[in-house]
Amino acid sequence: GKRVLSYRLLTEVFSNKKIVFFLQTHSSLQETLHYLTNEYGGVNGLGVIRSGLDKNYRKHLLENNRVILTLPIVFLNTIKAFPELAGMFEIAIINEVDEIIRRFSHRNVLCVPWNKLIPSLTNTMFIGMSGTLRDDHFILDESQLQLRKELSTISEFIPNSALITIEELIGTDLREYIKYSEVHILPVKDSRTAEIILKLTALIDETKEEIMHTVREFSPQDFQKLQQNFFQQLPFLSIETELVEKFNRLLLLRKYVYSMP
């Protein structure tokens, strides 16, 4: 869905606008480039700015291409060297916009480099996309820990914003561009893997009980919170670090075993 929307924004809705399209990782950048050029018919005036390119060549690409695909840190470093280029872009598209918000933050709510990048693009309209926008994140202010809606935080730092959901778009001609996939779930039965998972689960349960016992004994005021939401409260408890690390390692190990072919 996001790829289809991105392509139509670049080629139809804003076909005469100068756009910078931010991807969060090198692999996402390469994948998006492939889909735009090979799957959807190409984009006129498309340039790609990667790390490692000479800064003067990056300047040349920014000045001579209508659409730029890049990583946020690479773009920020470029406009630091050539600040006059920041005002050229009318639209910025952010893929996985939820990743610009810190999951747990104190003072600085926006992740690096977004805390500097967004204020640098003062005349730019932002379009953020996310297929996995989280519901809440933590903000630690001077007095207390707050659980806050991520959409509220994004709206605060990108003012005059509006939310458009896929449910609102699905009634349009978007369906004509979607390539549907069939997913068939088949069970994988392996007695050895099942035995390993059962043993890991038993160790996880034992470690969890040990953590609960420790908290009940040394921090009774936190015990009720831990009972209500174990995984959410665990990072904020002052208990033996090795015990928590053991618990997390066991969870990761079980997850790895589940994902093994």
Of 149, 177, 205, the residue that ends a domain is 177
More confident residue, 157 or 77: 77
Same domain, residue pair 160 and 246: no
Residues 50, 73: Cα–Cα separation, whole Å: 10
Query: Is residue 179 predicted with pLDDT exceeding 80?
Result: no
Same domain, residue pair 7 and 109: yes
Residue 132: other Cβ atoms inside 10 A = 7
Is 121 within the bounds of a domain? Answer: yes
Q: Is the pTM of this model over 0.75?
A: no
Same domain, residue pair 161 and 195: no
The amino acid that residue 123 corresponds to is N
pLDDT at 69: 95
Same domain, residue pair 61 and 113: yes
Chain segment 230-259, per-residue pLDDT in tens: 887 777 776 667 888 899 899 999 999 888
Helix or strand holding residue 226 (H, E): helix 220-228
Same domain, residue pair 157 and 217: no
Same domain, residue pair 197 and 104: no
Is 183 within the bounds of a domain? Answer: no
Same domain, residue pair 114 and 230: no
Please name the residue that has the structure tokens 């996880």: 204
Strands, E assignment, 124-247: 125-129, 136-140, 145-149
Residues 112, 100: Cα–Cα separation, whole Å: 8
* 54 Ramachandran zone, left/alpha/beta (phi>0; psi -120 to 50): beta
Same domain, residue pair 122 and 214: no
Residue 77's domain comprises: 2-177
Same domain, residue pair 173 and 239: no
